[in-house]
Amino acid sequence: MKFPVVGGLLFLSCIPAAYGSLILSSTVAVSGTGFGTVATLITIQAASIESGCVGATSSQIGSSFNNLGICTGSGADVGTGASHIGPQPLSAGGVTSAANFAIVFNANQSSGGPITITNLQVSFYKPDGTFIWQTTGFSCSPLVNCYFPNSQSGTGSSGFPFNLDATQQAQATAAGVFDNTANLVGIAASFSGTDGGAETLYLTSFVPAPAGVPEPKTFVLTSAGVMLLWSGLAWKRRSWA
C-alpha cells in the first residue's frame, strides 16, 4: 500500500493553485500611453498605500467594489481630472471578445522602484449603467504576492497587461459582457509601497503570446503523474505475486 499512497501524495502536492480571474500576461514596453492617448479607466495617487474605484459613471467612485459593481469607501486617492478617470466602453480599447480583453497597469514609481498590487477587480455594465458581471481574484504569477520589484518612473512609459483566465472568459461571455462593444468597464485597484506619481490603469485589447516551453510546474505535475502510475502498477505486481 505504500507505493500508491506516496505517489498520490506527491501528485497532489504538485497540483498548482488555481489562478484568479485576472492574470498577469507579461511585462510589455509601450509608449504614448499618457493621459488622453489611451482608454484610461482610473488614476490613483497617495503615499505608501493607495486605492481607488470607478463604477458605471465617472462620478461613481470609491476605494473598492461591492458584489454589484458599486464603488464603496473613500475615493480620496482617485484622480478626477480630464482623461484621468471614467468607465470605458469595450470599443474604446478595441476589445471584441473575452480572449482579447486586457487591463494594463502603468506604475509610476520614483526611480522605477517597487510596487505591490493588493487588489484588482473589474466590473462590467450595460450602456445604461445596469450591472452585468464582475471578476473575482487576480494573479501576478510568476511574481510572488504581486510584488513588482521594478516599475517605471513616468506615467505612460510601460505597462503590465492583465487578461481574463479561461474560466472567467467563459463566465463573462455567458453573462453577455461581450455581446455589445458599447458595454462599459469599471475598475477597482489598490497598491502598497507607493512613493512616486499617479498609478493608472487603462483598457485595451491584448492577446498573450502562446507559451513555447512547458512551465516548470507543468513538468513537475506531469512527472508526478507518471510516478503515480508507475507506483500503482508496482503495487499491483506485488499484490499478484
Peptide bond into 208 cis (omega under 30): no
pLDDT at 154: 52
pLDDT of 218 strictly over 60: no
**What band does 153 get if pLDDT is binned at 50, 70 and 90?**
low
pLDDT at 79: 95
**What band does 93 get if pLDDT is binned at 50, 70 and 90?**
very high
Place of cell 450595460: 126
- Nearest Cα neighbor of 78 from 100, 101, 54, 98 is 54
Indicate the pTM of the whole model.
0.77
pLDDT at 30: 55
Spatial separation of the C-alpha atoms in residues 170 and 165, rounded to whole Å:
9
**What band does 98 get if pLDDT is binned at 50, 70 and 90?**
very high
At residue 84, the 3 state secondary structure works out as coil
Q: Which tops the pLDDT comparison, 101 or 155?
A: 101
Neighbouring C-beta atoms of residue 6, cutoff 10 Å: 13
**What band does 211 get if pLDDT is binned at 50, 70 and 90?**
low
pLDDT in tens, 59-86: 999 999 999 999 999 999 999 988 899 9
pLDDT of 222 strictly over 70: no
Sequence-separated (6 or more) residues with CB below 8 Å from residue 95: 101, 102, 178, 181, 203, 204, 205
pLDDT of 216 strictly over 70: no
